[in-house]
Amino acid sequence: MMSCLLYVLPPAAILPLSLLNLGRSYGSALLALLGFGAAAPHGTRLAPLGPIGMGLVLLALQVGAMRAALPGAWHGLCLPLPNSPPAPLQPCPPRNSNSSSRDPETPRPAVPGPNTHLLARNLWPPEPSWDTGEGSASFGLLLGLSLPTACGVLWGCSHAAELRDAAHSVPAGSIGAAVGCAVGYLSSALLLGASVEGQLLRDKFGSSLSSRPVLSSLSWPHWLPLLGAGLAALGAGLTALLGAARLLRGLARSRALPLPHAVSSADRWALLPALLLAELGVLLGSLDLLAPVLSVFILTGYLCLNLSCAVQGMLPSPGWSPRCRLYHWALSLAGSLLCLALLFLTCWFYALPALCMAAMLYKYVEYCGAASEWGEGLRGLQLSAARIALLSLEEGPEPTNSWRPQLLVLLKLDSELRVSQPQLLALAAQLKAGRGLLVAAAVLQGNAGTGQGEARAAEQSLRSALASLGARGFVHVSVAPREREALAVLVQGCRLGALRPNCVLLGWPRGAALREDPAAATEFVELLRAAGSNGRGLLVAKGLIMGPSIGPSLGSGPSGPPLDVWWVVGDGRLLTLLPLLLRQHPSWRGCPVRLFTVALLEDNSVALRRLLESFARRLRLPASTEVVELHDSAVSAYTYERTLMMEQRSQMLRQMRLSARQGSSAPSQASQSGGEEEEVGGSGAKVMGPCPANVRRMHAAERLNDAIVRRSAASRLVLLDLPAPPPPPRPRDDNYVEFLEVLTEGLGPVLLVRGGDRTSKDQ
């Protein structure tokens, strides 16, 4: 607008200021005028001034070009002769009939009218010499100056709420505006190239025309392009202010950005930050400095828009259904790549900060959790990539060399839905060290239809517990009327394709419930069978009553309590892998590892120790090894008496349970129950002496426990082989629990480990 004022009224545009301050003064005044116009109740009615002004400019240019092409048209100005001093163009002399237009001494018209020879010369001009070239002009600068003239094709989207049929009007209007702008600007460029000599076109500041625009020299009437340019500037500025205000208001309403509440209440309040941002551009005072910045931000916006459309098309999302049948996501992807290329061609040192600002803005919106369309697209792309990865893993075999435990942690919740065994979750977090799969699961007893609220609260409690430990994993809470069946189903169904836990970690029940209640012992052993099925490893933690952190910081030296591994039966792969994983955590880094194995008198202890050291070196396990020899001593009277007490206690509990069931039975059933009582009594009479097999098991458990207590009583953690539970047809699950109690009696924290079928194959 300042340029129009300089050309139309030069005396009024000259103030006692420098050129930059002159631009700042007139620009601020014009911006204030546009602000009042945009704040007016019917300010949007002035927006068509832009297209009207641009139409006047193109019309005047077309009329002037056709007028110059008429036969016998008078050409007002001619180019100077070669080797003449620089000066404004002079009027053309009267044409002499004896002179030729190809005579070098004959002045050539500066605006000869459209012809193809002149267009060809201007399309491929000769290389300018060093003294005539203009050093400040470049492709990026010219692109930055011309790009804002064709970037307003989507401003109608901000007025979508005022349209009767936005789905039809916005695409048609945008495509029409794009085609109209392209045809108008391209035709004007071709007309200028075909009608004006190249020397005059390369006159950047119009010195040869006495500071008159070249476009005005070709147009007719000459003043109409100046008027049209002024109207176009006013209309474009007004439309930009209104569009920016609506955009800021929409962002404030969606809470995508931390904007004041007043911005979302009315367009007038949203107009103030738009005016302040525009004033910052006006204070630059130079269009050459401002245009590249505007172009970079416009291209960044179009880059994000095209990239969002491409992502939505690649998914494909159900909410993304473009009506254009010719649309393909490759078009949006090509548009985003073109915008990225133009960004760096325009001004690469402005493009990098603009891209960084866009990335930070996206991360901020993602951090705030705003439900915005551009935030959901990337999440959908991540879900699609996860689906493709899971499907590809489903087809191939599970890797064996990089096998590591993927944990499913079975937790119990108290009445306030808090984790009752946080030490178990802490141990799992230290075993994972931020890698692999970790699923924290729990079961709430109740009705599945009415307990979903408690389930969501329990899941949030588990997430908070994981976050407090610095661990990342998944949580799952089920609601079922029976906890035992729900846990078995949870263990077997916790998988998504190839992504499934291969180890189950659970805690030993507290108190003496297992010894006093055979039903509780049976339920616990059934859970062990379900957890260890289908090739899964099994980890049972016992005695982890040490506060919220099982492994306090022990430093990096070898002065901490040892971490003892007792390899008795099994392949030992999972048993020896766990110390390596634990020592990666800072809490266990200072614990020395000791590896024990058990040998009988007939075994070769020296060869067994040599094999154990070779195995530790192959696993790169920094452990000291020791072979513990167990003497086959006679069964002590204490062992005999303890086994007898275990069997008598189990027999008495079964009789009490049987009597409670038969107390109110019919006489016909009483005779049958009496027979059973006699059988039980008979069997009780038979069990006056303990079963020899139970005595042998109890004796072996006591001998092994005595060896472990003498060497590992002060250990930080004892890793011990977990014997396999008895097969389901055998009903003596309480005896199995009693053997485990004897095996771990007198020890501190113990982790009973049983490897799965997969680890056995890997070994």
Residue-wise pLDDT tens digits, 282-311: 787 777 777 788 888 888 888 988 888 888
Whether 646 has a pLDDT exceeding 50, the answer reads yes
Cβ-contact 615, 580 below 8 angstroms: no
What integer pLDDT is reported at residue 135 of this predicted model? 53
Separation CA 124–CA 314 (nearest Å): 42
pLDDT of res. 738: 80
User: Which residues, in sequence order, are CB contacts of 403 under 8 Å at separation 6+?
Assistant: 502, 758, 759, 762
Per-residue 3-state assignment (H helix, E strand, C coil) for 167-191: HHHHHHHHHHHHHHHHHHHHHHHHH
The pLDDT, as a whole number, for residue 497 is 78
CATH code, residues 537-657+687-763 = 3.40.50
Q: Residue 638 — pLDDT band, cuts 50, 70, 90? A: very low
| Distance of alpha carbon 153 from alpha carbon 175, whole angstroms | 8
Of 296, 397, 275, which Cα lies nearest the Cα of 345? Answer: 296
pLDDT tens figures, 120-170: 887 877 666 554 555 556 666 677 667 766 665 566 666 666 677 777 777
Q: Is the pLDDT of residue 557 over 70?
A: no
- Count of CB atoms situated within 10 Å of the CB of 189: 12
**Of 402, 749, 716, which is closest to residue 541 (Cα–Cα)?**
749
Nearest-CA neighbor of 529 among 733, 760, 745? 733
Highest-confidence segment of 10-14, 131-135, 157-161, 591-595: 591-595
Sort strands 717-721 and 563-567 into parallel, antiparallel or unpaired.
Answer: parallel
Closest CA to 359 of 374, 344, 376, 337: 374
**pLDDT one-digit tens code per residue, 487-538:** 888 888 888 877 888 899 998 887 656 666 777 788 888 888 888 877 788 9
| Percent of the chain scoring above 70 in pLDDT | 64
Q: Which of 58-67, 260-269, 442-451, 718-727 has the lowest mean pLDDT?
A: 260-269
Hey, which bits of 437-489 come out as E strands?
438-445, 474-480
645 CB-side CA count, 13 A: 11
